[in-house]
Amino acid sequence: MMVPGGIRMEHVLFSLKTFGAGILAYWIALQCGLPNPYWAIGTVYIIVTPLSGGTTSRAVYRLAGTVLGAVMIVVLVPNLVFSPLLLSLGIALWCGLCLFISMLDRSPRSYVFMLAGYTVALSGFTLVQVPETSFDVAVARVEEIAIGILCASVISRVVFPQQAGPVLAHRVEGWLDNARTLTRDVLTGEADSAVLREERHKLAADAVALRGFTDQVDHEGAAGRVMADRMAALQQRMIAVLPLLSEIEDLLAALGRDATTSVDRSTILERVVHWLTPGAFDLSAAKAETDALLAEIDQDRAHLEESARDWDVLLALRLTGRLKDLVEVWADCEVLRSDLSSGEAHTLRRTLATRHRQGRELHIDYGIALRSALSVVIVTLVGCGIWIWSGWSYGAGIAQIGTILCCVLAAMDNATPVLRKVVTLMLIALGAAFFYKFAIMPMVGSFYALAAALGLVLIPAGVLLAVPATWIMGFQVSVNLIYMLTLDNQVSTNFNAFANASLATFGGVALAMITLATVRAVSTEWSAARLLHSGWRAVADVASGARQIDPELIAGRMTDRLGLIAPRLALLPAGSEVQENDILRDLRVGLTVLELQRIRREMPRRDHRLLDDLLDQIATHYQQGTAGLAKRKEAVAEALDRCLNEVLFEVGPASSRLRDALVGLRSGACPGLAPPTFTRPARSLIA
């Protein structure tokens, strides 16, 4: 058995626990006289994960989805069974609606809506001939799945439980260590820009993945909910690190490592690097050390303010401000990290966690969700059409399997390669099911013998389930074997039924493959570009004033987009449009525009003209995509320089805030352009 890194004891233990839970669920379902007890053991293998919190999370959502689907079975089948076309249309539209909602949610609870959809397809079509049994079948299906869920959850929590909390804490520690290394590389200039950019993308992708782990921890009881609360607060600050590092790198590049200003930048950079050195950050003395560093940065800023009439000085002033923000954010991360190990609850943590929960918004793509829903509707209707037209009693299996695959694979850009692999694995499961059904089952004389026989395949498959790299292989072999055997109260050796059901299964796979390839499949570059352009539209909306949004919301959403783009970047060809753009710069522009909008509201109305012109230029720049990009950057730079020239010679807190925001906006929106030149204006922008 090829398992990356080799088979470890925890893999075997997980497999034995899963097999034990499955056999227990099957035995209980048999004792209760349920019509399809194999659903109980199948549910166990569908929901289990090595972490008890993940199993509980899936269990809760699967049960909720099954109940909702069962309700719709009772609503649709008896009322529409008189018309096969209306019933097919009703089930197809319901599956499409559920998948559409599921795609918009993008949190673990989206499984509720997806399952509610294909549960109706999976069970509803089998009731066409006996609609009067809809309620009994729906109740039995909920009971069978509930038994599987209960057995999997209890054994996962009681027998050598593996908590998600320590795993998440370890991964967060790794993220912070990688972020510290990246920060040191940015400040010391020890890595080139391509490497730094790749590392930022990796950190963004990891930050997105950590959200799923946090949800698992939230299902590990009261202690898990407390830890998830702390993790949410920490992740909110982790996200803030990435745009800061992006801007600091750009500012250092614009200044040049050897450029001189009235402040020795090398000294303050060295102080921050030393402060970040592992082991040097002692939380007990952290506040005094951090306050001293921040006071030193403030002193440098005050010195720079005295001569802030030169572009290099303005860049240095912006740099010291970003360094101060970085120190404050990183200090928050260290305090929150200490909360995880010490159990303390700082006010900072409670405040951030609340804001994080209120502002946790992920990227939503209505177009992709609609295409995915449309693919499910088409598969269901075509599968039903084949069934009705052919009169083949097993034809419902085509619609059932096709619908399930379209739902499960909806989030993929192109599911065809995965479906090809699924076909191979299903053939392996089919061969195993055939051998069991016609060679082993006739010789099985007791429940214990059956359990031993199933263990020959399910235990090795469970080992594969425990390893992410081989999960799909273990899942397909175990789940397909269980459902192909249809382990009822009596062993069936009807070859005709087995052959017809298997043919319908592979027909459903073929239909799903054709539909997904023609309706849903998109190229990696197209998908990445769509994510990039959605970020541009968000910045344009903020600049035009069309949307009022909290800075933390746009930071979370743009970081989420970057996390979704990052895995696709490695698959893109050199010179791709997406490769040449940096979504973190777009995030910085969006955050700075929000700051400008706040400053604008504090300014006298007569002074809005130049700032309004700048915001219009920013909105136009991000609305028009890549067409005429160079000219639009120059137009934005001209508008920025006019505003800078107006405010440069003014003094006061409002002028300083506006000037600093304009410098940050120029470094984010117009990288690489020649520095501006300044002349004293006839009148000031800030009265």
**pLDDT tens track for 333-380:** 887 777 766 555 555 544 554 444 433 567 888 999 999 999 999 999
Q: Is 145's pLDDT higher than 70?
A: yes
Q: Can you tell me the mean pLDDT for 419-437?
A: 91
Residues 335 and 381 in one domain: no
Type of residue found at 46: I
Question: Do 477 and 429 touch, CB atoms closer than 8 A?
Answer: yes
List the CATH number of the domain containing 176.
Answer: 1.20.58
Q: Determine, yes or no, domain membership for 73.
A: yes
The residue type at 618:
I
Please give the tally of structural domains in the chain.
Answer: 3
pTM for this model (two decimals): 0.82
* Co-location of 256 and 371 in the same domain: no
- Answer whether residue 18 is part of any domain: yes
Domain boundary (465, 499, 520) is at 520
Coil, helix or strand at residue 108? coil
* Same-domain status, 171 and 319: yes
Where do we find the tokens 């993929």? 412
Are 425 and 500 within one domain? yes
Q: Is residue 682 part of a domain?
A: no
* Residue 675 placed within a domain: no
For the ranges 161-170, 319-328, 577-586, the lowest mean pLDDT is seen at 161-170
Please indicate, yes or no, if residue 464 is contained in any of the structural domains. yes
Instruction: State the average pLDDT over residues 73-80.
Output: 90
* 622: its two tokens: 């991000």
To which residue do tokens 């200090």 refer? 331
In which domain, by residue range, is 657 found?
524-669
143 and 177 both lie in a single domain: no
Helix count and strand count (H, E) for the chain: 25, 0
C-alpha–C-alpha distance, residues 28 and 7, integer Å: 31
End-to-end alpha carbon distance in the chain: 76
Q: Do 657 and 554 fall within a single domain?
A: yes
| 105 within 8 A of 113, measured Cβ to Cβ | yes
Sequence-ordered list of residues with C-beta below 8 angstroms from that of 630, at least 6 positions apart, any chain: none
Residue 96: inside a domain: yes
Residues 83, 196: one domain?
A: no
Q: Is residue 684 part of a domain?
A: no
User: pLDDT per residue over 637-676, tens digit each?
Assistant: 888 888 888 877 776 777 788 888 888 888 888 887 888 8
Q: What is the pLDDT of residue 354?
A: 45
Which two tokens mark 454? 């199933």
Residue 420, CA distances (Å) to 69, 271, 425, 510, 596 in order: 29, 55, 9, 10, 52
pLDDT at site 679 = 74
371 and 412 inside one domain: yes
Q: Is the predicted pLDDT of residue 3 greater than 60, yes or no?
A: yes
| Contacts for 217 with CB less than 8 Å, ≥ 6 apart | 53, 163, 164, 165, 168, 224, 227, 228, 231
The verdict on residue 424 lying in a domain is yes
d(CA 484, CA 479): 9
How many angstroms separate the CA atoms of 315 and 274, rounded? 23
- 3-class state of residue 492 by DSSP: coil
Residues 612, 619: Cα–Cα separation, whole Å = 10
CB 610 within 8 A of CB 539: no
Cβ(472)–Cβ(425) below 8 Å: yes
Mean pLDDT, all residues of the chain:
82
Query: Among 250, 22, 285, which Cα is nearest to 154's?
Result: 22
Phi, psi of 574 (to 5 degrees): -60, 140
Q: Are 321 and 309 in contact (CB under 8 A)?
A: no
- Residue at which a domain ends, from 315, 335, 359: 359
pLDDT value at 540 more than 50:
yes
Query: Look-up: residue for tokens 């072999």?
Result: 477
Which tops the pLDDT comparison, 332 or 215? 332
Give the rounded percent of residues in the chain with a pLDDT score beyond 90.
21
> End of a domain among 520, 546, 563?
520
The answer on 191 and 169 residing in a single domain is yes
- Shared-domain flag, residues 181 and 84: no
Q: Are residues 342 and 196 in the same domain?
A: yes
- Residue 156 shares a structural domain with residue 66: yes
- Burial environment of residue 52 by CB neighbours within 10 A (0 to 12, 13 to 18, 19 or more): buried
Structure confidence at residue 82 as a pLDDT band (50, 70, 90): confident
